[in-house]
Structures are given as structure tokens and as C-alpha cells.
Amino acid sequence: MYSFYSSNELKPKGWLLQQLKIQAAGLSGNLDKVWRDVRDSGWLGGDAESWERFPYWLDGFIPLAYLLEDEDMISRAKYYVSRMVALQRPDGWICPCSDEQIPKYDTWVIFLVTKVLLGYYECSRDESIVKVIYDILKNYYTLLSSGKISLFGWGKARWFECFIALDFLYERYHEQWMADLAKILQEQGTDYRKLVDRWKRPMNDWRYETHIVNMAMMLKTEAVTHNMLNGEYKGSAEYFYDILYRYNGTPVGIFTGDECLSGLSPIQGTELCSVVDEMYSIEKLFAVTGDYKWAERLELIAFNALPATISDDMWTHQYDQMSNQIACIRFPGRSLFRTNNSEAHIFGLEPSYGCCTANFHQGWPKFALSAFMKDRDKIISVIPVPSALDDEGINIELVTDYPFKNTLKYIIRTDKDFKFVVRIPSFAENITVNGNKTEKSPEITFDLNAGDNTEIIISFDVLPYFENRPYGLKTVKCGSLVFSLPIEYEKKMREYVSNNVERKFPYCDYEYIPKSTWNFGFADGRLKVNRKEITDIPFSSSAPPVTVTVKMAEIEWGLEDGFETVCAKIPECTDPIGEEREMQLYPYGCAKLRVTEIPFVNIK
């Protein structure tokens, strides 16, 4: 079992550092200045939203501030946490509601706020926060065990989230009430093992047990609870993941859910909250299992789904992203999505609903904190992104442009002996270590000794290929990058005020209106990778750092019945209607309008 490093020990470098700087300069670093639900939150004594949105934002803002060592952001994080803690009652209750409201207050937010406070403790090492978490959960146990409250709604669906902080306390204090609370949560919480059949046939109704964010969170249930409930991890996540992916999977490792599970159609959406929460679940799953397939799944989501659904400047985002997304224009009539509204796919401040506005900030910072992990005298390079590690006399810097290029340069200085493990992606070919070819292996281990001052350079090739998708469609992949046919577009900006929420540049709403032809099929199986330098925007929608060239031809694809801005789920005809031409495919994360699941043309 691996443990995570803190933001004081592990720092981003290179393109990853630049991505976090963009995030801090965008909505993540400024939401408390422009959005009333954070600025005037009930958690701060204000009169705005008093449930999940403020702690959701802090969950990403805090590690972002400390990773960047941004003094202003750190100061604001400390201020907001101290304001929250100052409002905690003597009995431990911290949520902003009256005594009369407590029985009807959905306590999923207890799990969220204790997770946030634990994250703040890990960044700040403020020991006083441990008592705050202790008092919150002791009070929560008292209320649950006495029958004054019980789990319902989101709390019932997300009961396992409480174990993130509860397990931390149990490791420290090992008190009986903690074990008893764990059992109560399990008894009152949803048992997802009984619900898998509901994931196989998506319905057009809203249910907790098929809600996409609950599905993303649920994957880590056994990983975070096994220590307190049964002591053994038995691998339920793999079973759940296989069912979800078989019936609802996308090319970029996420599941469709707009807002509940939506099947295999490339024109169904996926809610942004589920993207970052699936990433967090997978990070936890790798730490517990050490199974490399989880690391590769994490890369797939982080390098594709996450940047695809947030604008280049990270001031706006979608609620729902689509694999085949030819326009981001409000639907004039009924919504295409199963349970989301007609604006869920536009880029804006809070399209459809504000949960993603508050929650998407955790994605990149927590991913950055997953680059290296440790287990006693072993350090592992989990996700080979540019980073620097300082672990009490062991200094490791990873210089790389991965996943855009495939050379990893580790600069290591150590005052102690340790074992260093580098995970090698399963798709790596022709692997060399310091210029010497080595056999293909899932990992390479180095035994380093005190006083060593060394460089390790690992290089490998990654070959592009076509992956089969449902309905006879194909997707182009190269390593952890998925490629799409990009569609040129123009932005239509809309500034307005609704429900006392101001949308004003740069955090206004945008529709993305297509300007180029999108109805193409693959005409040739030859793929050529073109690598360029990374710009100031790593996942730039105009200057991607890598492209794939392929021959394509226009086809009569058609539109989805009843819609003018949605391509048909399955192309109407794959006969070519034009000459073959060379086209450039962009990384999925760079192509805001795109076609990703594409047929081969019918060659007669």
C-alpha cells in the first residue's frame, strides 16, 4: 500500500506547473471573488448556499495554493478555514444550519468538509485541525447512534466518503466509537453490489443509484473502507469498473452520465464532477492496490477528459462533455441529455447547475500529488509528469514532456539508501535506459545508495492505433492520448445576470459555433504522429503539442433526429462523397469541438 506525498514535498514542474498556474489565474483562483455561493457562503456566516459548494471549492483551492506556494492564495485558504472553524459549535457540529434543520440536512457534506479539512492539515500541518475533524465526527457519531439523524439522499449514496477522514482518525486514536461509526455508515449506506443490473440499461429518469458522480465516487468504496470494516481489499472496484465501462464507457476512460448513466452513445454527455471524482477514486485505488492499470486509467482521464471540458484559460467549463461534439449551442427545444437541461454542454460559469463550478478545481492539483508515492524504503514514479520530490534527504526531479513526448529524465541526489521504481506504461515499445535497450516490463527498479548523484534517462516509443468502439466506429489512440477530428469554431459570448448570479467576461457564457466540416470517415489505416513544442497552454485548442495525420473523406453522416447541432449517433451512410484528403487529428483534450468516434469509409 502506497502513501501520498504532501504539497510541501512534491512540486509540479514544466508543463504541469504551467497548467496549475493557468488554473490559479482562472476561475479556481478567483471563484471567491466572482461567485456569490462561495463569497457569501453560509459556511462563512453569509446568506448564500450553505451546503456543498464552498467546501467543494476549497477541496481544490487549498492544494492548488500550496503546490504553487502562492502566498495570497495560502493566506486566503487559512482565512477561510479559520472562519469555518470559528463557527463550529461546542458539541462539534460545524454545518451552517439551525438545530431544527439538522434532521433534514443531508450530511454528505460532513464527509466532504472533513475531507477538505484533512487536506488542509496535510498541506499546512496545523495540528489544531485534527481536533476539529475529531469533534465533527464524534458529534456525527452521537447524532447517528442516538437516532436523531440517519443517512438519506446524497449521504446514503456517498457514505464511504466519510472514511477518508475517519480512517485517518482511527489510525491515530483507534477509539471504539470510530469503529462503531464505520459500521453504522455501512449499515445505513447504499450497497452498490445489489445495483449493478441498473447500470446496464440507462433510463431517462433521475436516480441516486445511477447518478454519474455517485458512480465515480463509488469505485473507491472498498479501497477507503476495508481497513476499518474487514481488513482486506478484495477487488470490488475492478468488477464495478468493468460493468460501468462495458455498458457506459467512453474512449477517454470516463462513463457517460448526463446526469445519470447514459449508455454507449458518442453523443451522450458526461458531467464534469464525475471526471474529477473518478480521478480521485482512481488515485486512491492505485495507492491501495499498486495495480498499474489504475495508473493508466488515471492518465487517460487526466490527459483527455479533464482538459477537454474546460476552456484554455480555465475561466469557463461545461457541465457535460460529449465524445462527438460538433457544436456547443443551446438546444432550442427539448434537451438531448437524459436528465440535464439544454445548456449543459455550453462553456460558462455554471451551465446547467453549479456543482461542477465548485468541484472541478480538485482535478489537476490532486493529479499532481499522484506523480510520486512511497512505501517504506521504496519510492515509485506513478505518473511520469514533470515534478520535483524532496523526501528527507532524497531529491528526485523528473524532467519530461510526457505524454506529448516519451523521454523521462530523473535527476537524483540521495543521502540514504532506497529503492526507486519507475512504472512503464503498457503501451511503451523499444524501451531504453541511459541509451541501453531493455526488455519490456511494467516497471524498472533501481537500488540507489546514500551519496548517489545520478541521472536516469528512460525513453520509449509509442505507436498510434485504431481502437474499436460500439456501432462499428473507431477511435485513434497513441499512448494515453486519444485523438479527435477538431472542428473550427467561433465563440458567441453572452453576459447577463440570472438569479442574482452575474456572468461577466471572462466568466460569462459562451456558445461554440462550428465553422468547418466535420462529417468525415477514415479512408486509410496509416497514422503518422507529429510532435511539436509545448506552448504556454499545454492543451492548447489552437496549437496542440502533438497531432496525428490520417487520410479521411467526407460521408453523409447526418444529424440526430430532432436536432440541428448534434451529429447522428450512427452515421447514415459511410460511402465517400468527396476525395480523400490528409487531415490533422488533435488530442481530445485540445479539441473543444470534435468528432472522436468515427467510421471507416466504405471503399468499393
List pLDDT tens digits, range 488-503.
999 999 999 998 899 9
- Which residues have C-beta within 8 Å of that of residue 146, sequence separation ≥ 6? none
The CA distance from 33 to 292, in Å, is 40
Instruction: Calculate what percentage of the chain has a pLDDT beyond 90.
Output: 98
pLDDT in tens, 88-112: 999 999 999 999 999 999 999 999 9
Residue 584: which H helix or E strand, with range?
strand 581-587
pLDDT (tens digit per residue) in 225-236: 999 998 789 999
**Strands 418-423 and 378-381, how do they pair?**
parallel
Query: Has residue 138 got a pLDDT over 90?
Result: yes
Q: What is the CA radius of gyration of the chain?
A: 24
Q: What is d(CA 220, CA 352) in angstroms, rounded to the nearest whole number? A: 27
- Whether the ω angle into residue 259 lies within 30 degrees of 0, i.e. cis, is yes
Cα–Cα distance for residue pair 397/174, rounded to 1 Å: 37
Whole-angstrom distance, CA of residue 3 vs CA of residue 375? 6
Strand partners, 585: 548
Return the closest-CA partner of residue 378 out of 286, 447, 444.
447
Q: Which single residue is written with the C-alpha cell 531493455?
A: 438
C-alpha 351/C-alpha 320 separation (Å) is 9
Q: Would you state the pLDDT for residue 391? A: 96
Who has greater pLDDT, 230 or 558? 558
Q: In what helix (H) or strand (E) does residue 122 lie, and over which residues does it extend?
A: helix 108-124
What is the average pLDDT score of the chain?
Answer: 97
Cell of 483: 485523438
> pLDDT digit string (tens) for 288-308?
999 999 999 999 999 999 999
Between strands 443-448 and 453-461, the pairing is unpaired
How many residues appear in the chain? 604
The C-alpha cell that represents 159 in the structure block: 457514505
Find where cell 499532481 sits. Answer: 368
Question: Dihedral angle at the C-alpha atoms of 25, 28, 34, 36, nearest 10 degrees?
Answer: -170
Average pLDDT over residues 304-324: 98
Report the DSSP beta bridge partners of residue 522.
Answer: 552, 600
Band (1; pLDDT cuts 50, 70, 90): confident
* Position 149 pLDDT exceeds 80: yes
Check pLDDT > 80 for residue 178: yes
For the record, the C-alpha cell of 155 comes out as 449521504
Mean pLDDT calculated for residue range 440-465: 97
**Looking at residue 603, what is its pLDDT?**
78
Cβ atoms of 483 and 532 within 8 Å: the answer is no
Element housing 318 (H / E): none
| Pairwise CA distance, residues 527 & 482, whole Å | 13
- pLDDT, position 387: 98
Number of H helices, E strands in the chain: 18, 26
Q: Are 132 and 96 in contact (CB under 8 A)?
A: no
pLDDT digits (tens, 9 = 90+) for 205-248: 999 999 999 999 999 999 999 999 987 899 999 999 999 999 99
Report how far residue 72's alpha carbon sits from residue 206's, in angstroms, rounded to the nearest whole number: 41
Q: Would you state the pLDDT for residue 604?
A: 65
Q: What is the pLDDT of residues 339-363, one digit of tens each?
A: 999 999 999 999 999 999 999 999 9
Quote the CA–CA distance of 438 and 430 in Å, as a whole number. Answer: 8
- Architecture per CATH, 373-461: Sandwich (2.60)
* Mean local confidence (pLDDT), 127-131: 98
pLDDT at 44 over 80: yes
- For residue 220, the model assigns a pLDDT of 98
Grid-cell match 448534434, residue found: 566
Residue 384 CA to residue 1 CA, distance in Å, equals: 19
Query: Positive or negative, the Cα torsion across 75, 77, 82, 87?
Result: positive
Q: State the Cα–Cα distance between residues 32 and 48, nearest whole angstrom.
A: 12
- The x, y and z cell numbers of residue 545, run together, are 503539442
For residue 359, what are the contacts with CB-CB under 8 A and spacing of at least 6?
A: 56, 57, 59, 60, 272, 273, 276, 277
pLDDT tens, 45-70? 999 999 999 999 999 999 999 999 99
Peptide bond into 55 cis (omega under 30): no
- State the amino acid at position 125 in one-letter form: R
Q: Is 604 exposed, middle or buried (0-12, 13-18, 19+ CB in 10 A)?
A: exposed
* Cα diameter, the chain: 78
- Cβ-in-10-Å burial (0-12, 13-18, 19+) of 90 comes to exposed
* Of the listed ranges 153-157, 330-334, 594-598, the one predicted with least confidence: 330-334
User: Residues near 271 by Cβ (< 8 Å), separated by ≥ 6?
Assistant: 212, 213, 257, 258, 259, 319, 320, 340, 356
Domain ranges of the chain: 373-461, 464-595
566 C-beta neighbours (distance < 10 Å), count: 20
pLDDT cut 70: percent of the chain above it: 100
